[in-house]
Amino acid sequence: FVHDIGGIGQIEIGAGSLHGFDAKGLAAHFVDPLAEPVAAGSGVTAFTSLTAGLVIGDGTMHTDNLAMTGKDFQLTLAGRGSVLSGAVDARATLTTADRDVPLVLSGTWREAVVARDDIALRPSLDEAPGKPAVRLPATAPPTAAAPPEAAPPAPPKPAPE
């Protein structure tokens, strides 16, 4: 039955709260590059606005534009969740007054886990300060074959008598 449900929609929620995580606490926690992932707990995030476009089909719900705004933060998220198993897979950016924190959301609807998205934090070679970008060709150009070694000169013939 759930596989047969499909559609496109938009949600808009005014003031509300998200239970399980504290947005400001997450931002502070993930300043540490070695910070452990955080499981949903007793934290609460009050927000002033939450909007998202949703696509539902094949047993999943997908968004690429969820935006949650609160007094001192903004969260943008793109990802999907299974209506059948509850599995969640999403990427988000949590923005506070002093930092942008890229996040990965996994687990399930009921037992979500948030981790720092270290892949999003890696600079590309072009952005690495003080380091030239190295570009390798897709295939190495053919190399010219070395010329065959010349045979050593023959010894001189003795002069006729």
CA neighbor of 49 nearest in space, from 106, 104, 11, 98 = 11
Cα→Cα distances 50→11, 12, 17, 88, Å: 8, 6, 10, 19
What tens digit of pLDDT does each residue of 96-146 get? 998 899 999 999 988 999 999 987 655 544 454 544 444 334 444 444 444
Q: Cβ of 114: how many Cβ atoms within 10 Å?
A: 23
Region of 125 (left: φ > 0; alpha: ψ -120 to 50; beta: rest) is alpha
Q: What is the pTM of this model?
A: 0.70
Specify the pLDDT at position 154.
59
Q: Is the pLDDT of residue 158 over 70?
A: no
Q: Evaluate the CA torsion angle 9, 14, 17, 22 in order and state its sign.
A: positive
Q: How far apart are CA 84 and CA 109, in angstroms?
A: 11
Q: Are residues 63 and 53 in contact, defined by beta-carbon separation less than 8 angstroms?
A: yes
Looking at residue 9, the DSSP 8-state letter turns out to be E
* Percent of the chain residues past pLDDT 90, beyond the cut: 58
